[in-house]
Amino acid sequence: MSDAPTALSGRGGSRTFWATFSAPFLWIMAFFVIPLSVIWAYSFGRTLGLTDIVITGTLDNYARVFEPVYMLIFVKSVWFALVTTAICLFVGFPYALAMTFASARGKIWLLLGIMLPFWTNLLVRTYALMAVMRNEGYINDVLEAIGIGRVEMLHTNFAVIVGLVYVHLPFIVLPLYSALDRMDRSLIEASLDLGAGHISTIFRVIIPIVKPGIYSAILLGFIPALGSYLTPDLLGGPDSQMIASVIERQFKRANDWPFGAALSFILMYLTLILMVIMAIKDRRHTRAQEKAA
């Protein structure tokens, strides 16, 4: 008799769990897993006529990805994403560090400064950058006024990098700030008391402690930058196109959905590989900390 309430409670808890879990599960299945599975199936098919797609199990679409023209675009996309992530990390780490040690009021203003771009639509922000960097823009007006002359910036690789850094910098700063804010500050005080300088403390104490946060920031910056479409499309030139632009053309203009699906899933496979690598690094870091403790 004493076990009956426990069993009833267990069944009630199970029903509550499934009642709570069913809604998000159905949502994810209906609007993410099933559509993504359809696109994945398309990557093994071929187009018949204008609209018909036949799933044949062929790997020809994935083989086309390794053609030189597409591999060059992939390499260029990875390069843009790496440079963007490196610049964001170089700029974002000191910013996040300043947020961590700022006063309460200063922290609010610094956080507002990094979050403010999210209050504006990405398209509006991109057109604002175009107005700033065009030949008749504000930067060139200043350069001409001081005697340097106008510089071609818009529709170049430089403009793409600037636009990507502008868009993705918050994705680097926020996880860095989250990791730094949870850090045990007594370790920093101990390092300074033992004679280490501020720069030495940053590289020998702070960075090793917040490595998981740095890995997360790199991942959150690199992956969206790799799949960027709007920024390179508007700010870049013919030599600045990234892989997302090629995917868009396959679906909208070339009407080659199987090849577009294959390109899309190559990006997804690359993303999953990066996530696995970061998870392994994070686990090794955790184990090393546990052994040290």
pLDDT in tens, 118-143: 788 888 888 988 888 888 878 888 88
Q: With a cut of 60, say whether residue 144 has pLDDT above it.
A: yes
pLDDT over 70 percentage in the chain = 94
User: Would you say residue 88 has pLDDT above 90?
Assistant: yes
Helix (H, G, I), strand (E, B) or coil at 14: helix
Q: Does pLDDT of 216 surpass 50? A: yes
Q: Are 120 and 202 in contact (CB under 8 A)?
A: no
Q: How many Å apart are CA 218 and CA 171, to the nearest integer?
A: 9
Q: What is the torsional sign of CA 242, 244, 246, 252?
A: negative
Q: Which residue has the higher pLDDT, 122 or 117?
A: 122
Is the Cβ–Cβ distance between 243 and 263 less than 8 Å? yes
Among 46-55, 114-123, 165-174, 274-283, the range with the most confident prediction by mean pLDDT is: 165-174
pLDDT reported for residue 162: 93
Q: What is the mean pLDDT of the chain?
A: 86
The residue count of the chain comes to 293
Residue 94 has pLDDT above 90, yes or no: yes
CA separation (Å) from 107 to 76, 150, 177?
37, 38, 11
Q: How far apart are CA 184 and CA 239, in angstroms?
A: 47
Rounded to 10 degrees, what is the CA torsion of 35, 39, 40, 43? Answer: 170
Q: Does residue 289 or residue 228 have the better pLDDT?
A: 228
pLDDT > 90: percent of the chain: 32
pLDDT digits (tens, 9 = 90+) for 219-268: 889 989 998 988 998 898 878 889 999 998 898 888 889 999 999 999 88
Residue 20 vs residue 103, higher pLDDT: 103
* Helix H or strand E encompassing 48: strand 45-48
pLDDT at residue 8 in the model: 42
CA 98 to CA 177: how far, in whole Å? 9
Beta bridge mates, 293? none
Residue 10's pLDDT band, with cuts at 50, 70 and 90, is low
CA separation for the pair 169, 184 (Å, rounded): 25
Question: pLDDT, tens digit, for every residue of 23-60?
Answer: 888 999 998 899 999 999 999 998 887 778 889 888 99
Q: How far apart are CA 148 and CA 144, in angstroms?
A: 6
Q: Identify the pLDDT of residue 1.
A: 45
Instruction: Please state the pTM of the whole predicted model.
Output: 0.83
216 token code pair: 């997360």
User: In angstroms, how far is the first alpha carbon of the chain from the final one?
Assistant: 47
Work out the average pLDDT over 211-219: 88
CATH of 65-292, one of 1.10.3370.10, 1.10.10.10, 2.60.40.10, 1.10.3720.10: 1.10.3720.10
Contact 40, 261 (CB under 8 A): yes
Q: Which residues on adjacent β-strands are paired with residue 54? A: 46
